[in-house]
Structure 1
């Protein structure tokens, strides 16, 4: 099923058991939202089926502390269930302070889009402290404006094009995935 969260439990386990290197022992108080809670919140707080069916323009949806993306994945699952064509109106603006969470969210969303041949209007992932740094220069972690351009790429070209890069405040880029 598209947009199924497969990484939250693994990510939370890694975080709770400690990290290696310079981040060891520097907890961020991260506890990811369980899937069942995400599903309930989606039903309570987000558009109902009839509203989704009526969409004919861009809808910007955000989560400023997205973790591994459980809440946004639940939302996307619901839109896909109602009408997968309505996903093309959805633009995501996501953020998390943790690099592993950013990678997890982007990976899960892109995997579903590619495997199930679905499209979003766009997606931006920021790596920032949501209180102090949100939208500051140098916090854009990943961004894609249109998924239409992905249609014609071969797999090896796609892997190159989707290489995640961190944009520094000096305007240069450096790879963040190894």
Structure 2
């Protein structure tokens, strides 16, 4: 199975401090998400990184795909939206992360957001919405965590890094 443009890459991070914290407050095995540009690069924002296209170097991930297939027009709208967001982006939205932590501790929903700052799952959700695709119906656009995408009614898991042969996987992370 090959990674295609628009696929959603859900990552199981291995940072010794940050990854367990994210798993705890998001109640998910996934700690990060990016959007495949192609088999070798993903569009992402992460702690310490601006919103940009980066090489796909993660070792433990699952690949989810829009089950109805993306049209050429949808891919183009997603691309244009991503370009505009990258121009406007001012960094990682720590306030959003803090609101998730408070929600976990206080068992009360919080939604704090800083304009022109995003978290990884927020940007993936917004990019899909720009193409008219609501990944998580009945939820405000952008108000999702990486693990929420697993339960999306419009996504299907197509493969994981473990499914790829050692040689094929190495070609993905070169």
Normalised by the length of structure 2, the TM-score is: 0.27
* Bigger Rg, which one: 1
Which is helix-richer, 1 or 2? 1
Normalised by the length of structure 1, the TM-score is: 0.26
